[in-house]
Structures are given as C-alpha cells and as structure tokens.
Amino acid sequence: MTAPAIHIEGALHRAQSLLIDRFAITFAAGGWSALLGASGVGKTSLFRLIAGLPSAALLDGQIAASDGAPIGPRVAMMAQDDQLLPWADALDNIMISARLRGDLLQPDHAAALLSDVGLAGFERRKPAQMSAGQRQRVALARLLYEDRTIVLLDEPFSALDVMTRVATQDLAARLLAGRTVVLITHDPAEAIRLADVAWIATRAGILPCPLPAARPPRPPEAVSTLSSQAALFQRLRLISETGAA
Amino acid sequence: MMQNLFHTLLRGLVVLLVPIAGWQATVTLSGIPQYILPGPILVAQSLWDNAGLLWQNALWSAGNLGLGLLAGIILGIETALMLALSPRARWLLRPMLVIAQAVPVFALAPVITLWLGYGMPSKIVTIALVTYFPITSALFDRLVALPAGLVDLSQLSGGNPCRELLFLRLPHAVPGLLSGLRLAVVYGPLAVLIGEWVGSSQGLGHLMLMSNGRGQTALMFAALLVLAFLSLCLWLAVEALSRWATRLLLCG
Ligand SMILES: Nc1ncnc2c1ncn2[C@@H]1O[C@H](COP(=O)(O)OP(=O)(O)O)[C@@H](O)[C@H]1O
Ligand SMILES: [Mg+2]
C-alpha cells in the first residue's frame, strides 16, 4: 500500500460565480493534510471533485495523484453525519460496501476492526442504539474495512463533544497512519493537532498554513499546540474580516 | 402485564358498548321505523338468522379481496422496482402514475364490469387496480429518495444498481411500502363494494343492494358489519406488520 500525494491546481467555479481563485496545492503522500476555510467557500465541492462524485462545482484546472493512477477508485470518504444504515447492525454497516460490490464478506475482519475502534461487543447494535461518538467510530471501522489509500474526511468530528472528539481524533490518527488523509475542518485546534500540512481556503486562493514542529497527533494541551492554535485563530479571523489573506 | 391486558379489554368494551347503547337508545326513543334504522338487537338477530347466507357471500367477497390485493401488491412492488432501476421506464410510466393519483380509479369499475362481466375477474381487476397505484407510488417515492450520503457511499463502493436497489434502496423504502399497504387495505374493501354494486350476483355488496331493495334493512346492516369487520382485520394485520418491520429495521 503506497499512498500517493494529490496535486490540485486551478480555480473552482460554481455556475457562473467564482468560488476559489487560482491555486496550486499538494496533499502530502501518506500523511494528514488539513483543509481549513469559512463555511460555504467550496471545500466540500472540491472534495467531491477529488472523489469523482457529482459536484455542483467545476474545477478549471486539474487533480492528479503523484503516481499518475486514477484517484476515484482509491478513495474512501467520511462525512459529518456518519451515513450509517439505520436498519443494519454495526457489522453489516462495516461490510456494506463489500456487499454492494458482491465481494466475499469477512465478518471476522469486520469484528476485529470494530474492536480496534474500541467497540468490541457492539457487533449486533444498530445505529439508534449507539451514541454519536460510537457511530462515528463504526464509520471509521467501515473506512478501515475498505482499506483505501486515500481518505477524505469532511468535518467528521465536528458533531462530537470535546473529550470524545480528542479521543476519536487520536484513534483516527493511529488507525489511518500511512494513508493520504485530507481533513476538512473549521476547527483550528483540530487542524493544529492532526495535520502534517495545512491549507486555508479563501475566495482569493488556497494559502499554506504553518504548523508546530512536533509530529502529529499533537497533545491538545501542549504550549506549542496552543500557541499555534492562537496564531491560526488570529489569521482566520483576519481572513474572514478582510475576505482574503 | 395482566393489568394492561385487562385495561385494553375494558377500553375496547367501552368503546364498543357506548355507541351501541346510544344507537339502541336513539331507535327506542325516537320511534324511527325499523326499515329506516333497525336497532342493534335487530341487526344482531339478523346476523344470527342469516349466518349461512352472510358467510357464503362474505367468503366470495373476501376471496376476491384477497386475490385482488395480492395482485395489486405484487404488481405494484414490481412496477416500483422497475421504475427505480430503469430511467427509460420512469420516463414512460411516471406521468401515468401521477395521472392515476389525480383521477379516481374507482370510476373505472363500470367499464371493467362491462368488459369482464359480472363474475370474479372484474372484481379482482377492480380491487387490484385501486390498490396498485398507491402501492406503486408510495414505494417508488421512497426508493428514489435515498439520502445523498448513501448514494455517495454506493457510488464510492463501486457496486452495481441491482445490489444498490436490494441492499440500500429497498430497506430504506420499507416505510413507503407500509404506507402504501395502509392505503391499499382501505381502498380494497371500497373497491369490493363498488365492484359488486356495479354488477354482481354474489358478495356482501350484492347482499346489501338486495336486502335494501326488499326492505330487509337489518340484513343490509348485518352485511355492512361483516364487511367492516373484514376491513378491520386487514387493517390490524397491516398495523402488526408495520410494527414488526419497524422493530426489525431500527433495533433488536
Ligand atoms: N445544492 C446546492 N444548491 C445551491 N448551492 C449550493 C448547493 N450546494 C452548495 N452550494 C453552494 O456552493 C458553495 C460551496 O459549498 P460547499 O462546497 O458545500 O462549501 P463548504 O464545504 O466549504 O462549506 C456554497 O456557497 C453553497 O452555498
Ligand atoms: Mg462542507
């Protein structure tokens, strides 16, 4: 499993209007990239283009993997709402993609992943019988079952309470190590904790964002984490006030 | 548990007995003639006296109803699945579905009787027709309303449309099928009556017309009661099915 880097360059449009002006960015191979930016700037639209899903936006430019192979079939995605099937239990939810393809099911492997995310014994629980944090961990196990090299996370932790969020972030950082992970977030703390590389999307383009020297996942209470967080917060505020960098 | 059962029974008894007592009181106090409104005692008497006749006609109506419902449900499910799978079928048939919802299909009963005669076929077709459309559209509406996140999931997983239909759309559409069934068991008995009123030599609707014509109002009421009982049983069956399916789909 060699995870490629992803290069994107161009400008993002929606209908006749410009969403993000010309930019060129790289999501690091086998590492975590954070994509920050105000709500509505076009982050989700860009994600859908990367994944090859129907998107209302259009990229005047190109998206390419560093190894030149197509990206779509190597992508797994996780969104803010967990997108679990309400009628299926945890195991069936984890294996749903395999079932949709008609692949041979591996319930033992699914159960092992479920216990990796700390939910051993939850095999037969349905989503309605789990907390938001537990559901998000089932979604993480489903992502791992797919075993794709490119992982797109669209604000996956934003609906969780702070302590659950920190725990789920650590879990995801550990279990997704080695893959090319792109994380959309509006939370500066999350970007500072998890990212190897971070980008800030604005109407004027996508700007690089400095991070602490320590390797992620960085402890949320460390001074360097907190001061970077403060700096990023200041910068985001400046951007939202002036409309650009 | 026992306490609960007792309360349910008690409530049922009260709900049943109070209107019946009111009915009897109205008849006794107002002096309405029997051939306009027979009292419940008279109707019960008629039920008892004509048990054989009622049973025979009820059997015929219930048989038609069962076969008609079955045909309507199976064809409805099949059509909805086909529409969900094929954009071309959708393009062709969807307008018809919309029109059928706006036009009272019941009005076709005389035409169907004209074409198929007074026997069972015309009854079964009428019943199937009026249940077919609500089943089709209720199921189809849910089949195509798969949440966007699940559509993405399906596309990213690289599955085929048939498996998507079977493992995502169909389970998601079960509530739609259930609401279609609820409509079907209301429309079905209505179609029985209308079909038999338009022209039939058997059945509860036929019996109602006959006894009305002969001034046997109590027998007409008895036939009506039997049909109401039949509808109630169907409705209870659908309710039970719906509760079972909901529990199966959501937890446990
Ligand atoms: N279905 C839609 N209909 C109309 N406008 C939409 C739709 N989806 C997104 N948009 C618009 O497209 C822009 C980009 O949306 P999105 O990519 O979801 O932003 P982000 O994920 O950064 O919050 C927004 O301005 C939003 O209003
Ligand atoms: Mg978004």
| CB of A180 closer than 6 angstroms to any ligand 1 atom | no
Residue B55's Cβ-count burial label (10 Å; 0-12, 13-18, 19+) is exposed
Q: Cβ contact (<8 Å) for A87 and B171?
A: yes
pLDDT tens digits, residue range B105-155? 888 899 999 999 999 999 999 999 999 999 999 999 999 999 999 999 999
* pLDDT of amino acid A222: 87
* pLDDT of amino acid B226: 96
How far apart, in whole angstroms, are the C-alpha atoms of residue B155 and residue A104? 19
Residue bearing the CA closest to ligand 1, atom 21: A44
Categorize the per-residue pLDDT at A244 as very low, low, confident or very high, splitting at 50, 70 and 90: low
How far apart, in whole angstroms, are the C-alpha atoms of residue B196 and residue B198? 5
Q: Six-digit token pair at B73?
A: 């449900």
Residue bearing the CA closest to ligand 1, atom 3: A56
How far apart, in whole angstroms, are the C-alpha atoms of residue A21 and residue A14? 12
| CB of A40 closer than 6 angstroms to any ligand 1 atom | yes
Pairing mode, strands A57-65 and A6-14 = antiparallel
Instruction: Residue A245: name the closest of A187, A206, A215, A211 by CA.
Output: A206
Sheet holding A180-184, edge to edge: A75-78, A150-154, A180-184, A32-37, A197-202, A205-209
Q: Does the pLDDT value for residue A26 go beyond 60? A: yes
pLDDT tens digits, residue range A47-93? 999 999 999 999 999 999 999 999 999 999 998 887 899 999 999 99
∠A20-A34-A83 over CA atoms, to 5°? 90
* Mean pLDDT value of segment B19-32: 90
Of A85, A97, A126, the CB nearest to B251: A126
Chain A residues with CB under 8 Å of B157 CB are 96-98, 100-101, 146
Q: Which atom of ligand 1 is nearest to the CA of A184?
A: 21
Residue tagged 């109205």 (tokens): B26
* pLDDT of amino acid A245: 47
Q: Which of B157, B163, B174, B248 to mutate to test the interface with A (most CBs of A within 10 A)?
A: B157
How far apart, in whole angstroms, are the C-alpha atoms of residue A178 and residue A139? 19
Packing angle of the helix pair B109-116, B170-198 (nearest 10 deg): 70
- Ramachandran angles phi, psi of A36, nearest 5°: -100, 170
Residue tagged 């505020």 (tokens): A237
* pLDDT of amino acid B31: 85
Residue bearing the CA closest to ligand 1, atom 7: A56
* pLDDT of amino acid B164: 96
Q: Lowest-confidence range among A14-23, B31-40, B161-170, B200-209?
A: B31-40
Chain B residues with CB under 8 Å of A87 CB are 171-172, 174, 248-250
B59-251 belongs to CATH 1.10.3720.10? yes
Q: Six-digit token pair at B101?
A: 């919802």
* pLDDT of amino acid A193: 92
User: What structural domains and CATH numbers belong to chain A?
Assistant: 6-82+149-242 (3.40.50.300)
The region that residue A85 occupies, defined by phi over 0 for left and psi between -120 and 50 for alpha, beta otherwise, is beta
Residue bearing the CA closest to ligand 1, atom 16: A42
Task: Say which amino acid occupies A19.
Answer: L
Chain B residues with CB under 8 Å of A129 CB are 251
Q: What is the mean pLDDT of chain B?
A: 92
Q: Six-digit token pair at B32?
A: 């309405």
* pLDDT of amino acid B249: 83
How far apart, in whole angstroms, are the C-alpha atoms of residue B81 and residue A102? 20
Cβ-contact B137, B101 below 8 angstroms: yes
Q: Which of A16, A41, A80 has the most ligand 1 atoms within 8 A of CB, as the residue to mutate? A: A41
Can you give the pTM of this predicted structure? 0.87
Q: Which of residues 111-140 of B touch A (CB under 8 A)?
A: none
pLDDT tens digits, residue range A185-243? 988 999 999 999 999 999 999 999 888 888 888 888 888 888 888 888 888 888 888 86
Of B149, B174, B249, the CB nearest to A81: B149
How far apart, in whole angstroms, are the C-alpha atoms of residue B122 and residue B115? 8
- Ramachandran angles phi, psi of A40, nearest 5°: 95, 0
* pLDDT of amino acid A116: 93
Q: Lowest-confidence range among B29-38, B157-166, B236-245?
A: B29-38
Q: Six-digit token pair at B156?
A: 């990213």
* Mean pLDDT value of segment A14-19: 92
pLDDT tens digits, residue range A125-182? 999 999 999 999 999 999 999 999 999 999 999 888 888 899 999 999 999 999 999 9
Contacts of B158 (CB under 8 A, 6+ apart): A73, A97, A100, A101
Cα A49 to averaged position of ligand 1 atoms, centre (Å) = 13
Cβ-contact B234, B186 below 8 angstroms: no
- Ramachandran angles phi, psi of B50, nearest 5°: -105, 25
| DSSP reduced 3-state for A57 | strand
* pLDDT of amino acid A201: 95
Contacts of A158 (CB under 8 A, 6+ apart): A80, A185, A186, A187
Proportion of chain B above pLDDT 90, given as a percent? 75
Cβ-contact B244, B195 below 8 angstroms: no
If one counts every other C-beta atom within 10 angstroms of the C-beta of residue B94, the result is 13
| CB of A13 closer than 6 angstroms to any ligand 1 atom | no
Pairing mode, strands A17-27 and A6-14 = antiparallel
Torsion of CA A132, A138, A142, A148, to 10 degrees: 70
Cβ-contact B191, B181 below 8 angstroms: no
* pLDDT of amino acid B1: 64
* pLDDT of amino acid B133: 93
Chain B residues with CB under 8 Å of A99 CB are 159, 163, 167
